[in-house]
Chains A and B, each alone.
Chain A
């Protein structure tokens, strides 16, 4: 793993990987959305609103997966001082926050016709809202860091502590009474019909690849900013 700690080696891999992830992700996402919108049947209880699942669920998983990535990168940053760990954690924050926001908004829109309300303060919705605010706090903390592109130790600690919320979101529908349905997809299997499950997995794959491309783009921008800052410092000293 430490072989990839070198930013020059990382950039040699990231440059061709960014467009590959982006275009493959975009094709899969568009295909899944068209499939989900026009070629899936109407659900018996939820009607056509079930089609919102193809944007809501990938956004929820990536919002939670993003913070898991921040926590892992923060541990790597603090324990092994991996030079790219802080950069990657910071690069994940804005896409993660955006996907968490998309999850909250599309969930609210889905709630109105199915539950009869835009919002309820139950465990799942509230813990997801807390995740969105954690992202905002992390972005503010990492932007306050003096080094461009890198992340401060305070932000890294915040990233690790905030990860406590991820299992809370996951278990919230079991621990508390919730309007939100129980988990339909678990490690043991799925209760979703294959007519919805297959396009849902295509959507998750597509959104995940796009997420990866976005993180690479933001890491490349951060590394370039760090190179600029280092060069300016050398020019000022000479």
Chain B
């Protein structure tokens, strides 16, 4: 049984999971901090 497809699949899944986590966390942080800053400046 060739091992390469199993190794590639494992790294792709880890990469996709990690990329999704980083992007979603970063976007929610930037969006929330921008909204908070905008509200703070509002009189």
Contact = CB atoms under 8 A, between A and B. Distances in A.
B6 to A, nearest CB: 5
Given A102-B17, A214-B21, A110 B10 contact: yes
The bracket for how many chain A residues form the interface is 35 or more
A101 B17 contact: yes
- Overall SS of chain B's interface: helix
A22 B9 CA distance: 24
A173 B40 CA distance: 54
A98 B21 contact: yes
Interface in B3-28: 3-4, 6-7, 9-11, 13-14, 17-18, 20-22, 25-26, 28
A105 B13 contact: yes
B36 A218 contact: no
Contacts of A110: 6, 10
Contacts of B17: 98-99, 101-102
Contacts of A49: 3, 6-7
Contacts of A98: 17-18, 20-21
B25 to A, nearest CB: 4
Contacts of A210: 18, 22
A126 interface: no
Contacts of B40: 227, 231
Interface of A: 22, 29, 33, 37, 47-49, 51-52, 55-56, 59, 94-95, 98-99, 101-102, 105-106, 109-110, 112-113, 210, 214, 217-218, 220-222, 224-225, 227-228, 231-232
9 closest A-B pairs by CB: A224-B32, A55-B14, A217-B25, A224-B36, A48-B3, A221-B29, A106-B10, A221-B32, A221-B28
8 contacts: A48-B4, A102-B14, A113-B1, A210-B22, A214-B22, A221-B28, A221-B31, A224-B35
